[in-house]
Amino acid sequence: MAKELITSAHVAELAGVSQSAVSRVFTPGASASSAMAKKVRKAADELGYRPNILARSLITGKSKLIGVIVAYLENQFYPEALEKLSKSLQERGYHVLVLMAKLTDDNVDQLLDTLLDYQVEGIVMASVSMSSSLAARCDAAGVPVVLFNRMQDDDRLSAVTSDNINGGEKVAQFLIAGDHKRIAYIAGWDGASTQRDREQGFLQGLNKAGMPLYARDVGNFDFIKAQEAAHRLFDHPEKPDAVFVANDHMALAVMEYLRQKRRLRIPDDVSIVGYDDVHLASWPSFGLTTIRQPSNRMVVETVNMLIAQIKDDNTEPRKIFLESPLIVRKSARIPDDWPDTNNTFDSPVVEQ
């Protein structure tokens, strides 16, 4: 139980060499004879020595730490992304300090300060936006920030999203082609760019076809609130015949509600379309038609951009919009003339 720290000095003594020799052996870019290395490694193993990264970081100024602020692990999209992000960064020699925020929270300030206190070399904000004063602070500290799944008009910020406006528009086109007449929308939290962009694209698409939005309600990206929104939308004699829900997490909630509590058939009575393409969306019980956010590529771009900026101060922040295809399954009526979509019906279920 006694916390007896073994330092490079101890190893040096045992190996009969200088302390700096030990350091060199354990420093990637340093030069040491193989004889030296052998001696030192032997002594180190014997004592169970490993370099203290905190001390190293203090000197080099490189903590090899990436701060990640994430809200909303309840939405399957984020655990998936977090797992990929963390693994990807690990592979590149970085490690992840994770802080949880609340979804509609403004006091991200504190969390961000904490990250900076730990001298993180970069920050990923997943499903969280930031004030421009925060952006300024990170910029001043020389710590690059990448927004993951949020877009924001600030030159100091990088951001990776799918093309949410285009995605929203595609949904409108699809529903209109499917001959729906009373098209409703359930919105996410309006503080999120994803919500605003998806809705904007959706309205744009309806507009181009001269189709009005039949009804709108708000689910704030919350499971229960989405069901409450559905409850209100369907409490009228003339019910919507299609609902675009701002993300899959809410769309699945709405499906559960409409099928189980309202006894509505999907898509016969009402079409539902979501956004994200989380794993659950492809389960046969749901077969949710949705827009796929390419989380793999989003993570790759995030990591690449972050590391590029860490490695070279002159790398400019960028915004990346990734294409996001419509995945046609069976929760929304499919237009007769719609191109064959069997190839996109990728169920994880075993084929017999």
Residue 172 near residue 201 (C-beta atoms within 8 A): yes
Give the pair of three-digit tokens for residue 82. 């977090």
Which residue pairs, CB below 8 angstroms and at least 24 apart, start in 141-148? 141/116, 142/313, 143/116, 144/306, 144/309, 144/310, 144/317, 145/317, 146/122, 146/302, 146/305, 146/306, 148/81, 148/85, 148/124, 148/298, 148/299, 148/302
Question: Of 269, 251, 246, 260, nearest to 180 (Cα)?
Answer: 269
Which one, 5 or 350, has the nearer CB to DNA?
5
Which one, 53 or 103, has the nearer CB to DNA?
53
Q: What is the phi/psi pair of residue 148, to 5°? A: -105, 115
- CB neighbour class for 3 (10 Å; exposed up to 12, middle 13-18, buried from 19): exposed
Instruction: Work out whether 48 is an interface residue with a copy of itself (CB under 8 A).
Output: yes
Q: CA distances (Å), 88 to each of 83, 181, 315, in order?
A: 8, 45, 20
Which one of DNA, a copy of itself, none interacts with residue 127, CB within 5 to 8 A by kind?
none
Which one, 10 or 297, has the nearer CB to DNA?
10
Give the pair of three-digit tokens for residue 40. 């030192």
The H or E element spanning position 146 is strand 145-148
Which one, 202 or 221, has the nearer CB to a copy of itself?
221
Instruction: Work out whether 202 is an interface residue with a copy of itself (CB under 8 A).
Output: no
Residue carrying the six token digits 């409490």:
235
Give the pair of three-digit tokens for residue 276. 């994200």
Which one of DNA, a copy of itself, none interacts with residue 31, CB within 5 to 8 A by kind?
DNA
> Coil, strand, or helix at residue 346?
coil
Instruction: Work out whether 9 is an interface residue with DNA (CB under 7 A).
Output: yes
Question: Of 69, 151, 52, nearest to 114 (Cα)?
Answer: 69
CB atoms within 10 A of CB 268: 8
How far apart (Å, rounded) are the C-alpha atoms in residues 242 and 308? 44
Q: Which of 19, 23, 27, 86 binds a copy of itself (CB under 8 A)?
A: 86
Which one of a copy of itself, DNA, none interacts with residue 321, CB within 5 to 8 A by kind?
none
The identity of residue 181, as a single letter, is K
Shortest Cβ 172–a copy of itself spacing (Å): 27
Per-residue x/- mask for a copy of itself, residues 152 to 191, rule CB under 8 A? ----------------------------------------
User: Judged by CB under 7 A, how many residues of this single chain contact DNA?
Assistant: 28
Instruction: Work out whether 8 is an interface residue with DNA (CB under 7 A).
Output: yes
CB neighbours of 167 closer than 8 A, spacing ≥ 6? 198, 201, 275, 291, 324, 326
Q: Which of 1, 2, 5, 311 binds DNA (CB under 7 A)?
A: 5
Q: Which of 42, 46, 60, 140 binds DNA (CB under 7 A)?
A: 60
Q: What residues between 15 and 34 interact with DNA by CB under 7 A?
A: 17-21, 23-24, 26-27, 29-33
Which one of DNA, a copy of itself, none interacts with residue 97, CB within 5 to 8 A by kind?
a copy of itself
Q: Which of 10, 41, 182, 259 binds a copy of itself (CB under 8 A)?
A: 259
Q: Which of 18, 30, 92, 100 binds a copy of itself (CB under 8 A)?
A: 100
Instruction: Work out whether 55 is an interface residue with a copy of itself (CB under 8 A).
Output: yes
What are the residues binding a copy of itself (CB under 8 A)? 1-5, 48, 50-55, 57-58, 61, 63, 65, 73-74, 76, 78-80, 82-83, 86-87, 90, 95-100, 113-114, 116-119, 137, 139-142, 223-224, 227-228, 231, 256-257, 259-261, 279-280, 283-286, 313-314, 348-350, 352
Binding residues (CB under 7 A) for DNA: these are 5, 7-9, 17-21, 23-24, 26-27, 29-33, 35-36, 49, 51-52, 55-56, 58-60
